[in-house]
Structure 1
């Protein structure tokens, strides 16, 4: 028997992640599970070269760090609003914000918190647009320590039977 005690809902706040919220909440209700909602912000400092080509990049790094600290407070507030406030009553929910590569941070979070299922939205693109953009969902499916349910945005609604 499958025991789902902890469900992870990574979100990027896009409309592609909204259907996954409904699925995750439905599964939390069905299995009386904990819900972890996670947002990972790409660390733009990783894109700056270590060599400055004659330009001192330290001020850019410091400005990004200050901006990120302020943004983290805003992100945590947005994460709190991802879930319906009435629905959250009596539920065990955890919100978290991480900084880094989304695929690595999400799988690391799943490992550290013994997540039983990851439910995440996907854009559903294929072909060239998929290859050019890359797929965080695909990387997570390959690396995750648990099953991953991907929910494509579409014309359907989730309803518990």
Structure 2
């Protein structure tokens, strides 16, 4: 049923809550798990240090992706980690098309009403516009 499972992550607690669900789904179907971190370049994210441009979001993304891939591999799930730059939901949807993703597993902060409307939501945009099923996992409120 599923050959490619996508786990978009931003390193937040909400995204971390989705990791075991994505790994379980990939394991159950023998699917490849794609862990994607999007360094949002729609906002200023780079700093200059001694004539070198360093993107701290990309470095953070590499650590987040590596951690999720390691957890998947502990369960013997084939996993690939990718860090890309761009707008978050647009990049996720492009990745879905480019990699023939069958299902997306994403965390959600569980915001409602005005709070959600004012802040916007990458997960909400993906749910509304993706051509594949999206499993949303609510952040644990502990």
Q: How does the TM-score come out when normalised to structure 1? A: 0.76
Per-residue deviation at 1:154?
Answer: 2.4
- Separation of aligned partners in 2, 1:73 and 1:128: 33
1:138 to 111, 124, 127: 124
Where does structure 1 lack aligned partners over 5 or more consecutive residues? Answer: 49-59, 157-161
Report which of the two structures shows the higher radius of gyration computed on alpha carbons.
Answer: 1
Contact 1:21–1:83 (Cα < 8 Å) also in 2:
no
Where does residue 159 of structure 1 map in the other structure?
none
Where does residue 75 of structure 1 map in the other structure?
61
2:53 to 30, 54, 66: 66
Per-residue deviation at 1:146?
Answer: 0.7
Residue 148 (1) aligns with residue 134 (2)? yes
Q: How does the TM-score come out when normalised to structure 2? A: 0.85
Distance 1:71 1:104, change over 3 A: closer
Distance 1:61 1:5, change over 3 A: closer
Where does structure 2 lack aligned partners over 5 or more consecutive residues? Answer: none
Q: Aligned runs of 1:12-161 on 2, under 5 Å?
A: 12-43=10-41, 46-47=42-43, 63=48, 66-68=53-55, 72-85=58-71, 87-89=72-74, 90-154=76-140
The CA RMSD measured in Å over matched residues stands at 2.6
Q: Secondary structure at the match of 1:131?
A: helix
Per-residue deviation at 1:111?
Answer: 0.5
Distance 1:74 1:152, change over 3 A: closer
Higher relative contact order (CA 8 A, sep 6+): 1
| Count of equivalent residues | 139
Identify the structure with the greater strand proportion: 2
Contact 1:36–1:95 (Cα < 8 Å) also in 2:
yes
